[in-house]
Amino acid sequence: MLLMIPPTVTFMYLPQIVDKNLEKRKSEIPKVLSIIEEETKNFFQWYRSLKITPIIKGLQEKNRRY
């Protein structure tokens, strides 16, 4: 299989393109960390709620009987 490089691509500017992309990706790190922190909080909140779910169901069942 022959790989051809499109005529619009020049390797001369490749290092600049790579650097620009890297900087853009680095600038997104704070956003990513914030998302991870928020989702971690949400996960542990959900996980802790699993412990009380049987208690809540038990109380609801007891309430239905009376």
Q: Is 9's pLDDT higher than 70? A: no
The per-residue pLDDT for 2 is: 65
Tell whether 5 is covered by a domain. no
DSSP letters for 37-61: HHHHHHHHHHHHHHHHHHHHHHHHH
Q: What is the mean pLDDT of the chain?
A: 88
Confidence of residue 11 (pLDDT cuts 50, 70, 90): confident
Rounded to a whole number, what is the distance in angstroms from the first to the last CA of the chain?
77
Tell whether 18 is covered by a domain. no
Tell whether 50 is covered by a domain. yes
Tell whether 8 is covered by a domain. no
How many domains, the chain? 1
Tell whether 40 is covered by a domain. yes
The per-residue pLDDT for 60 is: 87
Tell whether 54 is covered by a domain. yes
DSSP character at residue 66: -
Tens-digit pLDDT profile for residues 16-39: 999 999 999 999 999 999 999 999
Domain enclosing residue 53, as ranges: 23-65
Find, among 57, 36, 39, 58, the residue nearest to 47 by Cα: 39
Q: Nearest-5° angle of CA 53, CA 54, CA 56? A: 65
